[in-house]
Structure 1
């Protein structure tokens, strides 16, 4: 599902104009992004959490130059689904 598909489904189910729905979806994503850029995590009860994971410094290899490089410690955004959400997906999505 794309963002456009999401906007279309919400507009159909609520009867709200697509442009208004798109503005809300865009703002929702922007607020989550802004909060995480400031170092805050976002918790949506029953859905999941947008968290910041810390990656330690490590040694890597640049195979094209055959040299060892140091990858500095850094943070990455991650999503952790709520238990209710996780269980619903486990029950309803067929295993392929």
Structure 2
């Protein structure tokens, strides 16, 4: 029985180690956060194919509204939902 528990714990630990090794670039602090409160400033040097951008911060959403680039967002401020990302956006408002 103890041998089975040891095998199960070893397999779980192996999965955890493989997960963190495979995703080390996401958890590392080498990549600075370039998204601040929904505003992004991306320079050419940051556009590498393996570069991960964390989209954390306050973001505004306009559900069921298609806004053209020429329109002002202030026109739809009564429909705006602001949430913290990452978060559950279903049912907000």
TM above 0.5, one fold?
A: no
Bigger Rg over Cα: 2
Higher strand share: 1
Higher helix share: 1
TM-score (norm 1): 0.28
TM-score (norm 2): 0.28
